Amino acid sequence: MTTRPDVFFLPAANGEQRLCLFHAPAGAPRSRILYLHPFAEEMNKSRRMVALTCRALAAAGHAVLQIDLRGCGDSSADFGDASWADWQDDVRLGLAELDRRVPAGPLWLWSLRAGALLAAADWGRPVNHLFWQPMASGKLMLQQFLRLKLAAEMAGGASKGLMEQLKGELAAGRSVEVAGYVLGASLANGLASATLAPSGPPGRLAWLELSNREDATLMPASEQAVTKWRDAGWATQALVVPGPGFWATTEIEIAPALIERTLEAVA
C-alpha cells in the first residue's frame, strides 16, 4: 500500500509559508533526503516523475522532504519577488524541518537541473548529493530561460536585439517577463553567479543524466565537473540512464530507469 505524504505549510520569515510534502519511510530511516526542484516551468513538468520517485524512496526506507521554494508552487510570494538568497534560506528551512522529523541518519540533497546549483553549497554539515541532469553553470541556465522569450518573439520578427535588451533590464535591476514568469533581477543575478562546484566536507555524489541514445556517455562539460568533485575528495558515481528529458517534454513523461538508479545510488 502506498502511504500518502504529509502535506503541510512550513512557517517562514515575515509571516510567509512554504508548502512541503513529507514522505515517511517504511520502517527505520535508512537516510534523510531533501529535494530541491528545478527552475520555473521545469518544476511543474517534473512533478509526476518526482512524486513517483519520492514514493519509491519512502518504500525503500528513506525519509524524503519536498519543499516549494519562495514564489514557487503553493508557497508564499510571487516568483518575481523571490531572490537566490531567499531560496538558500529555504534550503536551510527544509534541512531544519528534516532534522526535526528525522534527527539522525545520512543526509542527501537531491536536486534536478538548476536545483543542483542551489544544492552545491556549504551547509555547515556533511551532506551527500544526488544530481539529476544538473546544470553546471547558472549563467547558462539563465540564458536558456531567456531564450524562451526570444523564441516566442521570433515569429513576429521582434527578436532582434531582444536578448541584449533583457540582459540590460536585469542589469539595471528591473524585472523581465519570460514565458509567463516575472523574473526579478535579484534572482537572475544570483542564478547567473552560481556554479556547480564542490563545497563543504566531501561526501558521496551520484550524478545521473538521461538520454534516449543507447550509446550515450556523459557530456564533456559533465565529465569535467565530475572530475572536479572527485579531485575534491568526493566519492563519485556518474551514469547516463535511458529515458526522456521529462522536465521539458510537451506531454508529462516519466523515466522508470532513473527511479531504479536513484534507489541504487542512495542505498
User: Tens place of pLDDT for every residue, the chain, 267 residues?
Assistant: 467 999 999 999 999 999 999 999 999 999 999 999 999 999 999 999 999 999 999 999 999 999 999 999 999 999 999 999 999 999 999 999 999 999 999 999 999 999 999 999 999 999 999 999 999 999 999 999 999 988 877 755 566 688 889 999 999 999 999 999 999 999 999 999 999 999 999 999 999 999 998 888 998 889 999 999 999 999 999 999 999 999 999 999 999 999 999 999 999
Rounded-to-integer distance, Cα 118 and Cα 57, Å: 22
List CB contacts of 72: < 8 A, sequence separation 6 or more. 37, 43, 79, 82
Query: Residue 57: helix, strand or coil by DSSP?
Result: helix
Tell me the HSE value of 43 on the side-chain side, using a 13 A CA sphere: 18
Cell of 147: 531564450
Q: Which residues pair with 36 in a beta bridge?
A: 111
CB 196 within 8 A of CB 134: yes
Cross-strand bridge partners of residue 18 = 10
Domains for the chain: give ranges and CATH numbers.
6-136+195-266 (3.40.50.1820), 139-194 (no CATH)
Which residues is 143 bridged to in the sheet? none
* Residue-level pLDDT at 215: 83
